[in-house]
A = this chain, B = another copy of it.
Amino acid sequence: MRELVLGVDLGGTKILSGIIGTDGGILAKSRLLTPAGGPERVLDTIAASAAQLLQASGIREQEITGIAIAAPGPLDFAEGMVRDSPNLGWGRVKVKEELSRRMGRPVIVEKDTNMAALGEYYYGPYSKCRELLYITVSTGIGAGIIIGGNLYRGRAGGAGEFGHMVVDAQGALCNCGRRGCLEALASGNAISRQLDEMAGQGRGQGILACTPAGKRPGPRELAAAARQGDEEAELLIARIVQYLGIGIANLANLLNPEVIILGGGVMLGLRDLLLQPVREYVQRHAFALNREDLIIDCTALGDDIVLYGCVAAVSIKDVK
């Protein structure tokens, strides 16, 4: 009998659900906007969309080995509880308990960046390495940490808040309240904010020229302008590269991992502009011992990386 997993990637803007085999084949997938109106409605929507996905795909519930939900952090792992999540705008929500009740069976709840790290580790090409860091550069920035071949969560599940590493003490204000967090300098949100500021000062005309009428310029428009050789766009890209490079060199110096895998919408969408320059920055700025043989690459799992993590979380026995 085939072993199937129902995975849900809950984000601030979308709910991605999928039914995936332990062989990595995705049998069915659905994508919904995260409804406004608070946690109850979101949790109801997750349960309903899961039921719908089963029905539409003709897969019987008994065929599902397990259910795993990825949610934005901070997330208390033992409690399965989202804690003061800025992305969801939630206080304390017992996702594990609430969804287990709604779905009539136990569910695994894991922070989304941790789930992505599991996906990359078990379904990417580096499953033989012992230390792997997965970094997502999307609207926000976060990380999942594999140490000794296992997911590292820290004391309460709080590990991996790489986006809230302060790298520029005098830098821009972050939505976490601190100054100069990596997320405030190099995330998709940070790019959009900087483009707004430029537009407000009458700068960035080349980027605005790449922006569809009525749309706010963001990473995609910045990239389009940079690819056309627009100087202001190139300068901003260079700054993003510098900040990502600082953050990743900090990680290399602190944790000396074997592999650092990058993903997330901004990173994958701007891969041609970011990956090689970031690699070169890290090669220039991390200690020789820490950068030698260090692999820095983009994930090949794309948007589905979290769904792959859901399969790993359910099916791989040594996931602790």
List A residues at the B interface (Cβ < 8 Å). 73-76, 83-84, 130-131, 143, 145, 147-148, 152-162, 164-171, 176-178, 180, 242-243, 246, 249-258, 285, 287-290, 292-294
A-B residue pairs, 9 tightest by C-beta:
A154-B256, A158-B256, A161-B253, A158-B290, A158-B289, A168-B169, A74-B289, A159-B256, A165-B250
Give this chain's copy count.
2
Q: Is the CB of A168 within 8 A of B165?
A: no
Q: Would A158 and B74 be within 8 Å (CB), given that A169-B246, A246-B166 are in contact?
A: no
Specify the chain B residue showing the minimal Cβ separation from A177: B285
Q: When the two chains form the complex, which single residue of B75, B167, B257 contacts A154, counting CB atoms closer than 8 Å? A: B257
Specify the chain B residue showing the minimal Cβ separation from A291: B158
Between A and B, 5 residue pairs with Cβ closer than 8 Å are: A154-B255, A158-B256, A160-B254, A161-B290, A178-B285
Specify the chain B residue showing the minimal Cβ separation from A165: B250
Q: Would A154 and B242 be within 8 Å (CB), given that A167-B166, A170-B168 are in contact?
A: no
Q: Is the CB of A287 within 8 A of B164?
A: yes
Q: When the two chains form the complex, which single residue of B84, B155, B176, B253 contacts A158, counting CB atoms closer than 8 Å? A: B253
Q: Is the CB of B167 within 8 A of A167?
A: yes
Q: A153 to chain B: which residues have CB within 8 Å?
A: 256
Q: Is the CB of B290 within 8 A of A169?
A: no
Q: Is the CB of A258 within 8 A of B155?
A: yes
Shortest CB-to-CB span from A249 to chain B, Å, is 7
Q: Is the CB of A290 within 8 A of B154?
A: yes
Q: A162 to chain B: which residues have CB within 8 Å?
A: 253-254
Q: A161 to chain B: which residues have CB within 8 Å?
A: 253-254, 287, 290
- Of A159, A160, A243, the most chain B CB neighbours within 10 A belong to A159
